[in-house]
Chain A
């Protein structure tokens, strides 16, 4: 029996439950009858909440029933809310007018619902309270020295690219770039060559479009690896493993993750993992899960890959050449020697992934990306100035890469790829951003976006992409 068949069998009781309980839940959440009328209303049936047709009257109209969304909204608002009168207006459209059944007097147009949909309540981050690190070191400046909400246009709800105020800190390469739930946080990083390490950072609030300068814990490292989970920034640099609580500045030293001498962090399924190896030249890959409650690591799950070695760091020594990506189901380790390994979180087992190409030559660069639809791979082959994009697909327990037909133009010397929902944004100097839908096919040249400079730092918030470059900061929102 294949893994897929096993899953199908295992899911049968759950599927039965969903078919039984989803209708029950729907009925419980939205029982028939009036919404805001007393029980026992004599208005009939479903139509308890819908208008009586008695009060309707078409006064006039043209071939187009409704001329505008606002007018249509008014029509339906009245449909739902109660009886109404439809009357002609000079432009040929129709307006809906609420008419009390007992009066027939025009009391004004029915209110149109917001054309932008339901407005969710959004509370901005509380930045009014000073927070301190160990010894009272301020982490977040209470007044947000970079705050600039008043100097930019307020956020629009529309999709696309918008330039916002630039960060209040010096641009840097390879900073920690994470979404904290409140801010796109850029911290530490280094100069382009890695010779100078930054210790400060800044957070961008996508609700207010304002920056807040963060002093940080007072240290940084060009090779800092980090991940964010549940209020904590998990960090590793120069053999120091720690976690930093963003809100309070509290810093905790963590035990070393077993035999791992070199590793990166990844979050998956609500846990934080260290994935690495016993040395920079090891061919084994190890995964350990950190348990904050017991302050301990799970037993290492080691996989001898059979590769000559995994290139955990690239030649510049300051960024990982192995890329990691994680979904709720898996952690994928991808090495630029065209090899990849998948760790199944359910079963706790490793497996080989197929090479991304039959071409035996090593790829120049390749990165795995975890989209909301699953794992994708971006590959730039030697001599190419385009990137190929593939998705990892499971067919009856057999994994394979499914490549898109159209490659994406990139600068092979410098490019990055970031998951934006189910899609991928590829960023490369000298090009507009390229939005790729790896699951359905299709690439969109983001011509309303910036022509990118030599470096970009990005954070995906779940709703927008924050792109901080040497020439400015942009926000992109999907359609």
Chain B
């Protein structure tokens, strides 16, 4: 005996709401590290929840799907920003957040990475994902993840030294 459409819809809404409640802040923080701007992070996360909601019945692991969607959304922002900044020829506006010096240095060092390198670094050292899971998120081989991480660490060591 199946549940009524109304019951199914209510259950889905409850589940989505629970996902929003549990994952919104972690996802915004992840997105902030990837793109540096809270306003843009909020938008990416909001759109990612929308995508998850739309495909709710098709996905087995909403949390993992959400994270991948957020990461991909952030990578799109970074790619668009790269072109925009080249054309605008000025530094992108940063959020007006007062940060300790060592965090400013870290934020600026992250800006020196390619979007793929930055994604790997954040997923590896902030989310603590193993390389094979990072590879799945960014659609690459684990060897590529290790290579990207290695190159990114070179850049960060240079920038932070």
| A interface list, Cβ under 8 A from B | 7, 10-11, 14-15, 17-19, 21-30, 32, 35, 46-47, 49-50, 53, 56, 58, 60-66, 68-69, 71-77, 79-80, 86, 94, 112-115, 117-125, 179, 181-182, 206-207, 327-329, 346, 372-374, 393-394, 422, 439-440, 461-464
Interface size class of B (residues with CB under 8 A): 35 or more
Q: B91 at interface (Cβ–Cβ under 8 A)?
A: no
Distance in angstroms from A272 CB to nearest chain B CB is 18
* Cβ-neighbour of B9 out of A53, A65, A71, A74 (below 8 A): A65
Asked if residues B9 and A61 are in contact (CB atoms below 8 Å), the reply is: yes
Residues in B123-157 with C-beta less than 8 Å from chain A:
125-126, 139-141, 143-144, 147-148, 150-151, 153-157
Asked if residues B157 and A121 are in contact (CB atoms below 8 Å), the reply is: no
With A29-B36, A30-B28, A373-B148 as given contacts, are A76 and B106 in contact (CB-CB < 8 Å)? no
* Cβ-neighbour of B54 out of A7, A63, A72, A206 (below 8 A): A72
| B interface list, Cβ under 8 A from A | 5-6, 8-10, 12-13, 16-17, 20-21, 24-25, 28-30, 32-33, 36, 38, 40-44, 46-47, 49-51, 53-54, 56-57, 73, 76-77, 79-84, 86-89, 95, 97, 99-100, 102-103, 106-107, 114, 116, 121-122, 125-126, 139-141, 143-144, 147-148, 150-151, 153-157, 160
Residues of A within 8 A of B116 (CB): 372-373, 422
Asked if residues B17 and A65 are in contact (CB atoms below 8 Å), the reply is: no
With A61-B5, A62-B9, A373-B148 as given contacts, are A75 and B21 in contact (CB-CB < 8 Å)? no
A310 to B139, CA, bound (A): 38
A63, A72, A329, A374 interface centre (most CB from chain B within 10 Å) = A72
Residues of B within 8 A of A393 (CB): 143, 147
Distance in angstroms from B81 CB to nearest chain A CB is 5
Distance in angstroms from B91 CB to nearest chain A CB is 12
A47 to B140, CA, bound (A): 34
A119 to B40, CA, bound (A): 9
Instruction: Determine chain B's interface SS by DSSP, over half rule.
Output: helix
Asked if residues A65 and B29 are in contact (CB atoms below 8 Å), the reply is: no
A121 to B93, CA, bound (A): 10
Residues of B within 8 A of A464 (CB): 83
Distance in angstroms from B110 CB to nearest chain A CB is 8
* Cβ-neighbour of A58 out of B9, B43, B77, B121 (below 8 A): B9
Residues of B within 8 A of A463 (CB): 79-80, 82-83
Residues of A within 8 A of B73 (CB): 117
Distance in angstroms from A123 CB to nearest chain B CB is 4
Residues of A within 8 A of B38 (CB): 29-30, 35
Q: List 20 A-B contacts (CB under 8 A).
A: A7-B153, A14-B156, A18-B125, A21-B102, A60-B9, A71-B54, A76-B16, A79-B20, A86-B9, A115-B47, A120-B84, A123-B88, A207-B87, A327-B151, A373-B116, A373-B144, A374-B151, A439-B144, A463-B80, A463-B83
Asked if residues B157 and A77 are in contact (CB atoms below 8 Å), the reply is: no
Asked if residues A61 and B8 are in contact (CB atoms below 8 Å), the reply is: yes
With A28-B97, A49-B24, A80-B24 as given contacts, are A122 and B84 in contact (CB-CB < 8 Å)? yes
Asked if residues B47 and A73 are in contact (CB atoms below 8 Å), the reply is: yes
With A117-B76, A120-B84, A329-B151 as given contacts, are A65 and B24 in contact (CB-CB < 8 Å)? no
Residues of A within 8 A of B16 (CB): 65, 75-76, 79
Asked if residues B49 and A80 are in contact (CB atoms below 8 Å), the reply is: yes
Asked if residues A35 and B42 are in contact (CB atoms below 8 Å), the reply is: yes
* Cβ-neighbour of A76 out of B8, B46, B157 (below 8 A): B46
Asked if residues A439 and B6 are in contact (CB atoms below 8 Å), the reply is: no
Asked if residues B95 and A29 are in contact (CB atoms below 8 Å), the reply is: yes
* Cβ-neighbour of A19 out of B81, B89, B125 (below 8 A): B125
A25 to B97, CA, bound (A): 11
Residues of A within 8 A of B144 (CB): 373, 422, 439-440
With A113-B50, A122-B87, A328-B154 as given contacts, are A26 and B29 in contact (CB-CB < 8 Å)? yes
* Cβ-neighbour of B89 out of A15, A65, A182 (below 8 A): A182
Residues of A within 8 A of B56 (CB): 65-66
Asked if residues A80 and B20 are in contact (CB atoms below 8 Å), the reply is: yes
A11 to B161, CA, bound (A): 12
With A18-B121, A462-B83 as given contacts, are A66 and B54 in contact (CB-CB < 8 Å)? yes
Asked if residues A122 and B21 are in contact (CB atoms below 8 Å), the reply is: no
Asked if residues B122 and A65 are in contact (CB atoms below 8 Å), the reply is: no
Known contacts A75-B50, A80-B42; 17 further A-B pairs (Cβ under 8 A):
A7-B150, A10-B157, A19-B125, A28-B97, A29-B32, A30-B32, A46-B24, A50-B20, A58-B10, A60-B5, A61-B5, A65-B13, A73-B47, A74-B50, A76-B47, A113-B47, A122-B87
